[in-house]
Amino acid sequence: MTYNKKTIEDIDVAGKRVLVRCDFNVPLKDGVITSDKRIVEALPTIKYLMAQGAKVILCSHMGKPHAIFTPDFKLDKKELAKVAELPEAEQAAATAELKEKALKNDIKKFTLKPVADRLNQYLDGKVVFATDIIGDDAKAKIADMKAGTCVLIENVRFDARETKNGADFAKALADLAGEGGVYVNDAFGSAHRAHASTAGVAAYLPAVCGYLIQKEISVMGKALADPVRPFVAILGGAKVSDKIGVINNLIEKCDTLIIGGGMAYTFFRSMGNMVGTSICEEDKLDLARELMAKARAKGVNFIIPVDNVIGREYSEDTTFMTIYSDAIPDGWMGLDIGPVTQELFSKSIKGAGTVVWNGPMGVSEWKNFAAGTEAVAKAVAESGAISIIGGGDSAAAVEKLGFADKMTHISTGGGASLEFLEGLELPGIACLQDK
């Protein structure tokens, strides 16, 4: 798959309806947006299209709601289990009650109306909110659009056909743009999902990428295809199994591979060391040994922690101490990299030409076990390298510490960036037109 895709600047949008898939899956508390970062990140694409005289139709998912705009509404597993516990004579009434409650909760918890309100603060009130997806309200408001305005349709996951990539639903979404319409995907965080709004619509409309996806694939694509060397990759997180493909792919491309976080203890254990009660995938020990052997064969500098901050239990205020990695006692668990390792990792990052980092070095949300992640963030920020932060906890740490402006690129997609680094085809990008 090529990542040299057409963008919004490669296609005429003047006077056309343009369906734009955004990632407006923003955090909400009591219906109030607590961070509008994803909305702000979508603005350059939206503003460009509006300035070109397009009629912009915005769509996005929000959370994981029940499917409420389709007849095949179903209770989730927990709700079904709750019903199953009741006497048979009471199950039908209980099911109906739970459905009614779920519908009300979903509309309240997962509606995109707060997003529309926030967009209007940035776009001078030029956004109209449709209370359905492909229904009468959406069609009427889209029909009334003027050039340079937007309609935001309701949460696409309110329709069960969205996540199933139903062809009829994808066609109905495309029909909102009408004849001569255009599809723009600017939701990198959802590009690894083959859903109707991320991939299916491209079968019915000319499909290009927005500025956000363009930046993701150009920066990360170049880093993987032609990195400035030395190329240092840093991987953290809990499990080796979550990042097998990423590790395998990066061993083929990088000069140094640094492993931190919970996954490091699987590598320790594979070397015959005791890891106490640290997270460890016993069924992945052979794999860990194979990955280290592959790195040696490729001449990759494979680095794991030499000391760790360990705690009595998985708790923010647990008793803790620092100990060498080969001496973790029974009843203790690793929760962060130690000071010697912090220095080792920092020295390995210094002088790098390209750095890709995905995953924290420890339980970084807890103050006592955040020092390792903070040290790595500081080292990357000061390295002068082309620095790519692969979303998730590592991105949050960089932003929290005030290093965001010193990084070349902070990815907007956790799962998507991982699959990108793994070298997998992302359906939401593969469906876009090549240049």
What are the residue numbers of the active site? 38, 239, 392, 415
C-alpha to C-alpha distance for 278 and 313, rounded to whole angstroms:
9
Residue whose tokens read 């990299």: 337
Closest CA to 316 of 335, 338, 332, 342: 335
DSSP 133: S
Asked if residues 345 and 374 have their Cβ atoms less than 8 Å apart, the reply is no
Task: Indicate left, alpha or beta for 135 from its phi (over 0: left) and psi (-120 to 50: alpha).
Answer: beta
Asked if residues 244 and 254 have their Cβ atoms less than 8 Å apart, the reply is no
Peptide bond before 87: cis, by omega within 30 degrees of 0?
A: no
* E runs forming strands in 241-353: 256-259, 301-303, 307-311, 320-324, 333-337
Q: For residue 152, what are its two tokens?
A: 């935001």
Number of Cα atoms under 13 Å in the Cβ half of residue 112: 29
C-alpha to C-alpha distance for 42 and 60, rounded to whole angstroms:
11
**Maximal CA-CA distance, the chain:** 71
Three-state DSSP state, 304: coil
C-alpha to C-alpha distance for 304 and 421, rounded to whole angstroms:
20
> Angle at CA 416, nearest 5°, toward 384 and 215?
50
